[in-house]
A and B are shown apart, each in its own frame.
Chain A
Amino acid sequence: MRITALLFTIALASNAQETQNWLTYSGRIDGQRYSTLTQITPANVKDLELKWVLQTRAPAEPNSKYEATSLVADGILYTVQPPNVVVALDAVTGRIFWTYAHNPSPEARPCCGRINRGLAMLGNTLFMGTIDGYLLALDARDGHLIWSTKMGRPEEGYAVTAAPLVVKDKVIVGPAGGELGISGYLAAYSAETGKEIWRFHTIPQPGEPGHDSWGGDSWRHGGGSIWTTGSYDPESNLIYWGIGNAGPDWNGDVRPGDNLYTSSFIAVDADTGKLKWHFQFTPHDEFDFDAAQIPVLADLEWKGKPRKVVMTANRNGFFYVLDRLTGEFLLGKSFAKVTWASGLDDKGRPVRTGHSTPEGSVIYPENQGATNWYNPAYSPRTGMLYVPCWMDTWSIYTSRVEPYQEGLWYSGGGATHNVPGVRPALVTRRQPDIAWAAIQALDVKTGAVKWQFRMTDVTDSGVLATATDLVFAGGREGYFYALDARSGAVLWKSMVGGAVSAGPTAYAVDGKEYISIPAGNAIFTFGLRQ
């Protein structure tokens, strides 16, 4: 059993293996969400047809979206219906094998929806975080609960919504709750027992480096949540993770300093959790600009030399390329309208031009960001990063003094948007000259926008890139698209009748390729017409 698990890990670590399976949130531990399956091509994608739909029991609350990326292992698809119902089903027919329902404590108070973004897997074990602060291990064969580890008190707002990341024999994840004044961390748990092996405080505790970036006692409820999945580089043995916003969100005056490691990428040793480097995209954030984006790892030729980089289109509106071994800033360029900063200096630090104020300040982009947690995809063939973007959005950012009270919203003000964060129905009457959405293809060597696929309404959809130069993505309008990865042209689309708020998965069973996407309260799986 142990040997099987080890071999599985090695296969995962190599990225190129098991291309028919989708074994981790991004499909690959480098975060690229790039499938090397080649059966579905620009020439035949028009022949995609619906193979099966799984309707779920998910409640129709607007903030209870279906955000989980499905995993697929040897023909079995594993998904999480919100909030914490795991379903194992046949990836070819959609028929259910088993269901495991975790009934969250009534004390659960996830900040931003009763949702889950997916599972991690190692051998025959699945791992799921819960909105009441647990990490669970389940037997993938029958849904049997193997262990349960409490990660934080739900009464204080600790909730686990991110899909964990399996690295070797460890499960890596941290708690969400940045709007409820948690003190965040990233931790490694034994896949075998659930025992915590290491913990990295995303809000440095007294005596830890970076603690002095918090004035007074403000570090105590500083946020720094974890709510998306990280990436892993086996060669350097470094884990990369995006850290959430500082708390309280919109009142920076009560937490003087840069507020490390909020709104940052961290690189930590996979065995010890020791910090190798960090890069803070939005020091002293006042806009809720989490760095909860997927770190995308790639080996690029950079100014004539090979360079190992980590890339991100950040919620704050800038695209960044960093050296992933040192954290050195290589490139930064805005990909949407930005007014909170006039640009980045030569170290990548923003030149601030706007602040959240008691009377309210109109600032671009809006609180939901120029992009957000919705995963991007990178194609090494095209050299482009495909990013779901919210364009021309703004918020009126208002700061207020709010005392911390356990279990209550701790945001220090408010943000009024020109586009709502969530919407219960697929209805929009907002004109595109106010705000719109796009899948943007960024040239990762320059940050230049190579093409733009425009949508009238905004999108919470993740993106998938394939080795046949296809890009799959959806949006809040209920369409699911296949785009030409080189031009952005629409090659195929399907109306799935519900907002797409998850990332697509590509997999193959018995030599046939499938593309699967949750939308609304269902999963839709497509394959080529026979």
Chain B
Amino acid sequence: MQWKSLLAAALLSAIGLAAQEVHGVTPADLERGLQLFLNNCAGCHGPDGDLVPDVNLASGKFRRAQGDNDLRGIVLRGIPGTAMPPGNYTPEQAGVLVAYLRSLASSGAPKRTGPPGDASLGKAIVETKGQCLQCHRIGRAGSIAGPDLTGIGGMRRGADLEQSLINPDAEIRPDNLTVVAVAKDGKKITGRLMNMDTYTLQILDGSSLKLRTLKKDDLREYEVLKKSPMPNFRDKLSEQEISDVVSYLVSLKERI
């Protein structure tokens, strides 16, 4: 019998470890949890988690779960007999997904401020007046110089997209940073920051649209911009037009 006790102790200690890891969440974990949520859950629960009747994931209250272990179990195994299917997640993914759901209860899902939008009008604005495709790509159209908007509706909430349009400097995601460097010969280099270390910067060169490494020793200076190169559309589009664009972007769920 003793070995069974030992086994149980070992299991408990493993669960404890896992729980510790999950409780130590970082903003990056929550961001990944958000992306998992938008990709896998928002289709039924909605991007704010309140679309299924009588189920508000942002409330912090769960009828079938006492704690995080129960929640992870539901995320992984679904709820038999209901429309909630099992999910194909690693334990770590299930952990950050649950951490994201918990974070909703404390902060609440942000809400859009503008009027209801029309996605088809928004599409026209993106492709013409807004000149969005000069920097962004949607599917096969546009440029790769700026962040890819293909499937953005599965990755960002409407309120976040609205903020990006009317206050682009408020939050620049780590995968959308721009670096401006000046080589020792005075040549200016601008590109998207892909990676960096003590000695080098990896960028997608904004002019050649090629991947390249810059050695810091070869640079006179470089700066990772705190401001977004994205124009503020508060002055360029009406409130209604911004809502139309947001509606269109939210509708972009397909990853291709």
Residues of chain B in range 165-203 having any CB-CB distance to chain A below 8 Å: 194-195, 197, 200, 202
A95 to B197, CA, bound (A): 8
CB-based contact B140/A146 at 8 Å: yes
CB-based contact B197/A144 at 8 Å: no
Specify the chain A residue showing the minimal Cβ separation from B150. A144
Query: 26 A-B pairs, CB-CB below 8 angstroms?
Result: A74-B210, A76-B211, A90-B213, A93-B213, A95-B197, A95-B200, A95-B202, A95-B213, A97-B194, A97-B195, A97-B202, A97-B204, A97-B211, A98-B194, A141-B144, A141-B209, A141-B210, A142-B144, A142-B204, A144-B148, A144-B150, A145-B150, A145-B255, A145-B256, A146-B256, A148-B256
- Contacting residues, chain B, for A169 (C-beta < 8 A): none
Q: Is B131 an interface residue (CB 8 A)?
A: no
- Contacting residues, chain A, for B137 (C-beta < 8 A): 144
Q: Is A96 an interface residue (CB 8 A)?
A: yes
Residues of chain A in range 136-152 having any CB-CB distance to chain B below 8 Å: 139, 141-142, 144-148
Q: Is A291 an interface residue (CB 8 A)?
A: no
Given contacts A75-B212, A96-B194, A145-B256, 11 further A-B contacts (CB under 8 A): A76-B211, A88-B211, A90-B200, A95-B200, A95-B213, A97-B194, A97-B195, A141-B204, A141-B210, A142-B204, A146-B140
- Contacting residues, chain A, for B88 (C-beta < 8 A): 103, 105-106
Q: Is A160 an interface residue (CB 8 A)?
A: no
- Contacting residues, chain B, for A268 (C-beta < 8 A): none
Distance in angstroms from A367 CB to nearest chain B CB is: 32
Closest 9 CB pairs of A and B: A97-B194, A90-B213, A106-B88, A97-B211, A97-B202, A76-B211, A95-B202, A144-B148, A96-B195
Specify the chain B residue showing the minimal Cβ separation from A92. B213
Q: Fill in one digit per residue for B136-151: 1 if any A CB lies within 8 Å of its CB, else 0.
A: 0100100010001010
Q: Fill in one digit per residue for A293-317: 1 if any B CB lies within 8 Å of its CB, else 0.
A: 0000000000000000000000000
A142 to B144, CA, bound (A): 8
Distance in angstroms from B235 CB to nearest chain A CB is: 30
Using CB atoms and an 8 Å cutoff, list the residues of chain B in contact with chain A. 88, 137, 140, 144, 148, 150, 194-195, 197, 200, 202, 204, 209-213, 255-256
Most buried by A among B195, B200, B204, B209: B195
Specify the chain B residue showing the minimal Cβ separation from A103. B88
- Contacting residues, chain B, for A95 (C-beta < 8 A): 195, 197, 200, 202, 213
Distance in angstroms from B143 CB to nearest chain A CB is: 11
A139 to B212, CA, bound (A): 15
A139 to B256, CA, bound (A): 11
- Contacting residues, chain B, for A92 (C-beta < 8 A): 213
- Contacting residues, chain B, for A74 (C-beta < 8 A): 210
- Contacting residues, chain A, for B144 (C-beta < 8 A): 139, 141-142, 144
Residues of chain A in range 101-116 having any CB-CB distance to chain B below 8 Å: 103, 105-106
- Contacting residues, chain B, for A141 (C-beta < 8 A): 144, 204, 209-211
A106 to B89, CA, bound (A): 10
Distance in angstroms from B173 CB to nearest chain A CB is: 14
Specify the chain A residue showing the minimal Cβ separation from B203. A97
Distance in angstroms from A361 CB to nearest chain B CB is: 42
Distance in angstroms from B255 CB to nearest chain A CB is: 6
Distance in angstroms from B68 CB to nearest chain A CB is: 23
Q: Fill in one digit per residue for A70-98: 1 if any B CB lies within 8 Å of its CB, else 0.
A: 00001110000000000010101101111
A103 to B144, CA, bound (A): 24
Given contacts A103-B88, A106-B88, contact A93 B200 (CB under 8 A): yes
Distance in angstroms from B33 CB to nearest chain A CB is: 15
- Contacting residues, chain A, for B200 (C-beta < 8 A): 90, 93, 95
A73 to B150, CA, bound (A): 26
- Contacting residues, chain B, for A139 (C-beta < 8 A): 144
Specify the chain A residue showing the minimal Cβ separation from B192. A142
A199 to B9, CA, bound (A): 57
A76 to B210, CA, bound (A): 10
- Contacting residues, chain A, for B148 (C-beta < 8 A): 142, 144
Specify the chain B residue showing the minimal Cβ separation from A143. B148
Most buried by B among A98, A103, A144: A144
- Contacting residues, chain A, for B255 (C-beta < 8 A): 145
A282 to B128, CA, bound (A): 62
A423 to B132, CA, bound (A): 53
- Contacting residues, chain A, for B210 (C-beta < 8 A): 74, 141
A121 to B128, CA, bound (A): 33
Distance in angstroms from B220 CB to nearest chain A CB is: 21
A407 to B77, CA, bound (A): 22
Distance in angstroms from B104 CB to nearest chain A CB is: 23
Distance in angstroms from A469 CB to nearest chain B CB is: 33
A96 to B200, CA, bound (A): 11
> Which of B204, B213, B256 is in CB contact (< 8 Å) with A147?
B256
- Contacting residues, chain A, for B209 (C-beta < 8 A): 141
Specify the chain A residue showing the minimal Cβ separation from B93. A103
- Contacting residues, chain A, for B150 (C-beta < 8 A): 144-145
Specify the chain B residue showing the minimal Cβ separation from A147. B256
A75 to B202, CA, bound (A): 12
Residues of chain A in range 494-511 having any CB-CB distance to chain B below 8 Å: none
Q: Fill in one digit per residue for A203-247: 1 if any B CB lies within 8 Å of its CB, else 0.
A: 000000000000000000000000000000000000000000000
Q: Fill in one digit per residue for A142-172: 1 if any B CB lies within 8 Å of its CB, else 0.
A: 1011111000000000000000000000000
Distance in angstroms from B130 CB to nearest chain A CB is: 21
Distance in angstroms from B177 CB to nearest chain A CB is: 14
Distance in angstroms from B179 CB to nearest chain A CB is: 13
- Contacting residues, chain B, for A75 (C-beta < 8 A): 212
Distance in angstroms from B207 CB to nearest chain A CB is: 13
A148 to B210, CA, bound (A): 24
Distance in angstroms from A195 CB to nearest chain B CB is: 14
Most buried by A among B148, B202, B212: B202
A96 to B204, CA, bound (A): 12
- Contacting residues, chain A, for B197 (C-beta < 8 A): 95
Distance in angstroms from A119 CB to nearest chain B CB is: 15
A18 to B219, CA, bound (A): 30
- Contacting residues, chain B, for A103 (C-beta < 8 A): 88
A93 to B197, CA, bound (A): 11
